[in-house]
A and B are shown apart, each in its own frame.
Chain A
Amino acid sequence: MPSATPAIEVADLEKRYGDVRAVDGLALTVDAGEVFGLLGPNGAGKTTTVETLEGYRRPDRGRVRVLGLDPIRDGRQLRPQIGVMLQEGGLYPGVRPLEALRLFAAYYEHPAEPEALLERVGLASARGTYVRRLSGGQQQRLSLALALVGRPSLVFLDEPTAGMDPRARATTWELIRRLSDDGVTVLLTTHAMDEAEQLCHRVAIINAGRLVACGTPEELTLQAASDETRFSAPPGLDCTSLATAVGLGDGLVIEERPGAYLVRVDATPQLVATLAIWLRDHDVRIGELRTGRRTLEEVFLNLTSEDGR
């Protein structure tokens, strides 16, 4: 859904802390209305990048535009239009969720209704509990609500679901999807690959401050399609026998982890049929069969390995 002005433009961004280049020549563009995921290992530069876009950090080099504005020079114009969820903290421990939301609502021209928003993030029952007594996941949801109360057109969510239980995570995902339906641009960072696959229209994988891949989750996993077929089954199958059956040399069928098998060949219809016959003959029930493409997690691990591939 490209529009005239991208929501976020980053060109040749560099940010150093002492001798360390936290971000090293990063370039990316986020279109308006997109849910964009920034993935990368710890220390890859995700938070530094996000905080530069939020106006907290001054780039050492490069150009950053958020909603067409310079986050530092035009901060006064930009801040009413963005919502921010920091990776941690940012809440007064001594206030209650509804008080916090009402306070933040007063900063904005046309805020959302605090009570309704509290309901939407699933905190209605905790509205009168002091923030310091909320669980980590509840505090996360309050931070999320505070990021949304100003009805921003762009939200930055730094690890929004870290520490949430599965139900809270599902609520949050639903909320983010609805934001996107309403045309709000979302930039999120996450370590959860399922989250990125479920939510993001596009993801960027960064490693050591550099962009190593960018595209839709489908593109990334298809690009990385490999001559590999994987299936899960009870542990301890005879890999040599299976390799022989499907006409492969020894060592081309391996048990990667107990119960997780890898056949190092393209999943042709012929291979799948032969595999199925062998499984029937050995009365093996399989849990999962995956061919052709790798998961985003595998792509991620491959791209961000120590030697950088």
Chain B
Amino acid sequence: MSASTRRAIAAQARVELLLTIRRGESLVVSLAIPVGILVFFTKVDVTQTSLKDPVQFLVPGTLALAVMSTAMVSLGIATGYERRYGVLKRLGSTPLSRGGLLAAKTISVLALEVLQAAVLLGVGAALGWHAMGSIAAAVGLLLVGTVAFAGVGLFLAGLLRAEANLAAANGLFLLLLFLGGMAYPLARLPGFLETVARGLPAAALSDTVRQALSAGSVSVGALITLGAWAVGAPLLAARTFRWEE
């Protein structure tokens, strides 16, 4: 990669991050909701999950939730509006390539995820969470999850009008939060819902991250589901993405 390409990507990533920080509501979704869920469900056993150690369950779950909020909701909504405002079209006639734009968005998403993870792990530690298992495996899984959710978010952003995309991304976020095994175990769901949930990327990510962080072995089924979403969703997004609304 040439120095000028790197300079362009760095400048683009900086502005992407700046815009994310300026959108207060997206910071609420990506920070306040995961942290709120972590604290609330650790302290209050509303779902009567009778977990021995709720914080050990909730830290991996909210890490997965944080990835979902940033890679799917925040990235997707922002990209949808960039399409609406003609920004994506305008960038198409600059020397910044589509690959460069994608790289910049990736850097911005990862930076935000690092911030989220730091906050969640700090709060989790304060609540008594202690690391077990493989941190490296968990990081790897969260990265695969990022690719999967970014694929879903960009698929919607490249297809729907900006307002419809906003509603869809937020609605999907809520749905996957309920079906994601993030705040309470999937086993609490009725049988058919649990089956559906196991096919979705949210549960696959939270389950595998939890397994990786609990010294247990990672479920192959969940790993395959996660991997399939991480390949399928970006491919679908790439095929269907329209750069102009």
CB under 8 Å from chain A, chain B span 49-93: 81-82, 85-87, 89-90, 92-93
A95 touches B15 (CB 8 A): yes
In the complex with contacts A90-B85, A95-B19, A107-B8 CB distance below 8 A: yes
- For B91-115 the 0/1 string (1 means CB < 8 A from A) is 0111111000000000000000000
Asked if A250 is at the interface (CB within 8 A of a chain B CB), the reply is no
Q: Which residues of A contact B (CB under 8 A)?
A: 54-56, 76, 79-80, 82, 84, 86, 88-95, 99, 102-104, 106-109, 146, 150
CB distance from A78 to the nearest CB of B (A): 9
B93 touches A56 (CB 8 A): yes
Bound complex: CA A170 to CA B78 (Å):
36
What would be 12 A-B contacts, judged by CB atoms less than 8 Å apart? A56-B93, A76-B95, A84-B93, A91-B86, A91-B87, A92-B19, A94-B19, A94-B23, A95-B18, A103-B14, A107-B8, A107-B95
Asked if B11 is at the interface (CB within 8 A of a chain A CB), the reply is yes
Q: How many A-B residue pairs have CB under 8 A?
A: 70
CB contacts (< 8 Å) of A146 on chain B: these are 90
Bound complex: CA A93 to CA B81 (Å):
10
CB contacts (< 8 Å) of A55 on chain B: these are 92-93
A92 touches B8 (CB 8 A): no
Bound complex: CA A106 to CA B5 (Å):
9
Bound complex: CA A84 to CA B4 (Å):
20
CB contacts (< 8 Å) of B14 on chain A: these are 103
In the complex with contacts A56-B89, A86-B86, A91-B87, A107-B19 CB distance below 8 A: no
Asked if B211 is at the interface (CB within 8 A of a chain A CB), the reply is no
Asked if B10 is at the interface (CB within 8 A of a chain A CB), the reply is yes
Of residues A89, A102, A108, which shows the largest number of chain B Cβ atoms within 10 Å of its Cβ? A89
Please tell me which one of the listed residues B7, B22, B97 contacts residue A94 in the complex, with CB atoms under 8 A apart.
B22
Question: Closest residue to A88 on the B side, CB-wise?
Answer: B86
Question: Closest residue to B243 on the A side, CB-wise?
Answer: A56
Asked if B12 is at the interface (CB within 8 A of a chain A CB), the reply is yes
Please tell me which one of the listed residues B22, B86, B89, B96 contacts residue A107 in the complex, with CB atoms under 8 A apart.
B96
Interface class of chain B by DSSP: helix
B18 touches A86 (CB 8 A): no
Interface class of chain A by DSSP: loop
CB contacts (< 8 Å) of A89 on chain B: these are 85-87, 89-90
CB contacts (< 8 Å) of B81 on chain A: these are 93
CB contacts (< 8 Å) of A107 on chain B: these are 8, 11, 94-96
A102 touches B11 (CB 8 A): yes
Please tell me which one of the listed residues A79, A88, A103, A108 contacts residue B93 in the complex, with CB atoms under 8 A apart.
A79
B94 touches A79 (CB 8 A): yes
Question: Closest residue to A76 on the B side, CB-wise?
Answer: B97
CB distance from A108 to the nearest CB of B (A): 6
Please tell me which one of the listed residues B8, B19, B97 contacts residue A106 in the complex, with CB atoms under 8 A apart.
B8
CB distance from B96 to the nearest CB of A (A): 5
CB distance from A157 to the nearest CB of B (A): 13
CB contacts (< 8 Å) of B7 on chain A: these are 106
**Given A107-B94, A109-B4, A146-B90, 4 extra CB contacts under 8 A:** A54-B93, A91-B85, A94-B19, A94-B23
CB distance from A42 to the nearest CB of B (A): 19
CB contacts (< 8 Å) of B22 on chain A: these are 94
CB contacts (< 8 Å) of B15 on chain A: these are 92, 95, 99, 103
CB distance from A192 to the nearest CB of B (A): 22
CB contacts (< 8 Å) of B90 on chain A: these are 84, 86, 89-91, 146
CB distance from B107 to the nearest CB of A (A): 14
CB under 8 Å from chain A, chain B span 1-42: 4, 7-8, 10-12, 14-15, 18-19, 22-23
Bound complex: CA A205 to CA B19 (Å):
42
In the complex with contacts A95-B15, A106-B11, A90-B86 CB distance below 8 A: yes
